[in-house]
Structure 1
């Protein structure tokens, strides 16, 4: 390896990881733990790109260099002026080219042992995609199944509190998975960012211990699960939560109570079911939403949408479902959820 360069395998050898790309690139995805110190902001990057295409590479570099020098000077004066001589940062850009190279040159001239990530973010992204083709299969997954409203995500949270290893895919995807599943206070991440977090989370698990995960379809909202993740989940042992309809209804009304605050959004989500339900049913549901009658609305969701969908898909998709131990419950309160988690750990270690 050339002096001043490092590979993705050496990330942990540095005191700080600096992302020199634009804020928009950083927002889409980044190496975990990296800080954003762009050498060109979003507007500047667009300007330089336009000059490159419409005028010449020389003119783009001439104008871009002045912008880069000014931005690096700003970072040196604000972010790094108190760093000791022993500080060792790693800098990356998209391909490990001029943006990170310029930054590293100045850092090394000052006297810091700065390095440039070989291949940049592109190499990191390639590694994540390649690893996710095999990484999920290294773990002993235990899949929590159950109809919508069975409290599966809350059960995962309780299992985590009891010390079990838990992979909460819906939390990583910031979505509950159903047509009503968008969260009120968290937008979904980008696909790349989700995959980076999945990669990071899986690497934090002990392969010698089971990992509990909720049964999911291939998509959670607009996030696509990696094929290897889906295939391994569907081939893994299951545990089935058999909660009563009444317990599920009470749970759904509590868990989705925030939907009553924005009638227009709730009606819009109901509209996404067009083609799956009759127009008459959808209009009735929109009317229930307008009157904030969530109890009646969710009761109809269970009977006409959630349960028929569950019974069509679960037996077919998960090979271990037919042999899964079944845990009945008529209580999905926090205490009832904890009891289910304890029973899972007792019967399904």
Structure 2
């Protein structure tokens, strides 16, 4: 108290637009499982209730007493916020300016915001919480894909499509790498093995990542994308993006079979290093090709030379599936671009061609 006045902490403000202010940080106070399922990109997870606590309080609320649930919930929230203050907020300076959100912008975010505000930090709560952000993403998925012109790069498995996209990106082109966002290489054998500890994102977070990437692009520039079916692993392409890709110009890359085989073995070392896992994967194809074919493939896997297995599964499974998918999914298939090999100079020359030739050549 100073004279006749009482010093009050900064008031808590509310917003529906997370982009209108330069916040120090965005804090998601939902449980870890909610955060994993989907969250605002760049936000950090400081849960005021963990998954078990959230279930416990919810059950008490529904089965016993809302009043009792609020008492227990308040105790748990107080304990957890206290730990966050000690472990996370202790070194924040007085200019720290966070945006806080929970599921609906209700009690969980208000609890965290109240404590931070009492300390003296200015705090903003996302009005409507995660549901407000998810509504924005859903609307963006209807609008954003239609702002761009796409060029689809297609080619049989092992044609170096990812290499081409990577080189295009390094040269400053706009590239939407859907397989990277999905953490999946788009085929039975194509999970990103080196990132097995990072599973595929949920459908909602996959959509969030797509929106985040599209927001970075300029509508007057081409967006390059690899040909995909409507599903990559366990996640689906948003329908408006898929429809726009479906009617976009699609160019084919053709590479000799032996080059593709060598490239696949180089890109997918598990074909050599993890034969048991590989056998388990191709076992999924038994209903389609029968026991004899699966047995033949298993024998090739255990042989000293993986080239014959890769060549066989390409010719029997991947190549026919690719041609069927290309015919069904893309309406504007353009003349084929032939590559003798997938060396760095060859890829660079192709990218030069794609970037510098006018659009009429590619269309």
Which interval holds the TM-score relative to the shorter structure? over 0.9
Shift of 1:3: 6.1
| Number of the residue aligned with 2:57 | 48
| Number of the residue aligned with 2:8 | none
| Number of the residue aligned with 2:157 | 148
Pick from 282, 288, 309 the counterpart of residue 300 of structure 2.
Answer: 288
Q: Give deviations 1:142-196, integer Å, cap 9, x for gaps.
A: 1001111111111100111111111110000111111111121322111111111
The answer to whether the 8 Å contact 1:263/1:292 transfers is: no
Say if 2:355 is the partner of 1:340: no
The answer to whether the 8 Å contact 2:49/2:80 transfers is: yes
Shift of 1:129: 1.6
Shift of 1:11: 5.7
CA pair 224-333 structure 1, distance change in 2 beyond 3 A: same
Unaligned runs of 5+ in 1: none
| Correspondences of 1:71-150 after superposition (within 5 Å) | 71-150=80-159
SS state of the match for residue 322, structure 2? Answer: helix
CA pair 288-223 structure 1, distance change in 2 beyond 3 A: same
| Correspondences of 1:1-349 after superposition (within 5 Å) | 4-10=13-19, 12-186=21-195, 187-291=199-303, 293-321=305-333, 324-347=334-357, 349=359
Shift of 1:290: 2.8
Shift of 1:107: 1.6
SS state of the match for residue 332, structure 2? Answer: coil
The answer to whether the 8 Å contact 1:4/1:116 transfers is: yes
| Number of the residue aligned with 2:5 | none
| Number of the residue aligned with 2:3 | none
Unaligned runs of 5+ in 2: 1-10
* Cα distance between partner residues in 2 of 1:346 and 1:250: 30
* Cα distance between partner residues in 2 of 1:270 and 1:293: 18
Shift of 1:255: 1.3
The answer to whether the 8 Å contact 2:27/2:99 transfers is: yes
Of residues 241-250 and 10-19 in structure 1, the stretch that sits farther from structure 2 once superposed is 10-19
* Cα distance between partner residues in 2 of 1:11 and 1:89: 13
Scaled by the length of structure 2, the TM-score of the pair is 0.91
The answer to whether the 8 Å contact 1:6/1:118 transfers is: yes
SS state of the match for residue 82, structure 1? Answer: coil
Scaled by the length of structure 1, the TM-score of the pair is 0.94
Shift of 1:30: 1.0
Shift of 1:9: 4.5
* Cα distance between partner residues in 2 of 1:276 and 1:119: 48
* RMSD over aligned Cα atoms: 1.7
Of residues 45-54 and 91-100 in structure 1, the stretch that sits farther from structure 2 once superposed is 45-54
Tell me the number of residue pairs that the alignment of Structure 1 and Structure 2 aligns. Answer: 346
